[in-house]
C-alpha cells in the first residue's frame, strides 16, 4: 500500500464523520460531488447506524452523495466490499507487464449496477483499489 495523502478538506470530513457516527475512518476521497469513506474493518454498522440514521445525517450535513467501503487487508475482500451491494462471484488478482490487475466476476444482471451511471461505481472501485492495494485496473467479467 502506498502512502495516502489527505487534503485539509478530507481531514475535516473525516473528523465530522467520526464525530457523527462513532466509526473509525481510514481514508476519505472527495470525488466529483461525492465523498468516498474507507471505513475500518468492523465499523460499518456504526457508520451506517440503526435504519441508516448516521449515514443519512451525514448526507444532510454535507449535502453530498456518500459512498462507504469497508477496509480489508486482503485485496480480493476489499474489492468485494467496494462493489457492495453488488454480489461479486470471484476476484482474481494477477500481474501483467508490471501492472496488478483485478478481474472481477459478477452476474449479468448485476453488471449495470457494478458499472453505475456514467461508470461512477467502477471508477470508485478502481480509485480505492489503486490507493489501498496498488491495483492498477479493475476489469469486470
**Shared fold status for 8-70 and 75-140:** yes
Q: For residue 5, what pLDDT band results from cuts at 50, 70 and 90?
A: confident
Instruction: Write the pLDDT tens digit of every residue in 93-131.
Output: 999 999 999 999 999 999 999 999 999 999 999 999 999
In the predicted model, what is the mean pLDDT of residues 73-94? 95
**pTM tops 0.85:** yes
The structural domains of the chain, with segments of one domain joined by +, span 8-70, 75-140
- Is the pLDDT confidence value at 47 over 90? yes
pLDDT on residue 3: 65
**Whether CATH 3.30.300.20 fits 8-70:** yes
CATH of 75-140, one of 3.50.50.60, 3.40.50.2000, 1.20.1440.230, 3.30.300.20: 3.30.300.20
Backbone angles phi, psi at 13, to 5 degrees: -65, -35
Mapped onto helix, strand or coil, the DSSP state of residue 130 is: helix
- 1 has pLDDT over 70: no
Amino acid at each position: 500500500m502506498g502512502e495516502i495523502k489527505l487534503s485539509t478538506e478530507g481531514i475535516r470530513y473525516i473528523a465530522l464523520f467520526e464525530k457523527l457516527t462513532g466509526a473509525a475512518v481510514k481514508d476519505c476521497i472527495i470525488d466529483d460531488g461525492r465523498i468516498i469513506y474507507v471505513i475500518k474493518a468492523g465499523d460499518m454498522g456504526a457508520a451506517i447506524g440503526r435504519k441508516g440514521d448516521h449515514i443519512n445525517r451525514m448526507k444532510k450535513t454535507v449535502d453530498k452523495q456518500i459512498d462507504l467501503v469497508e477496509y480489508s487487508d486482503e485485496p480480493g475482500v476489499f474489492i468485494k466490499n467496494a462493489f457492495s451491494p453488488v454480489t461479486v462471484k470471484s476476484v482474481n488478482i494477477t500481474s501483467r507487464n508490471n501492472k496488478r490487475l483485478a478481474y472481477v466476476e459478477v452476474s449479468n444482471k448485476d453488471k449495470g449496477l457494478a458499472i453505475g451511471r456514467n461508470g461512477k461505481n467502477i471508477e470508485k472501485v478502481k480509485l480505492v483499489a489503486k490507493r489501498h492495494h496498488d491495483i492498477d485496473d479493475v476489469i469486470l467479467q
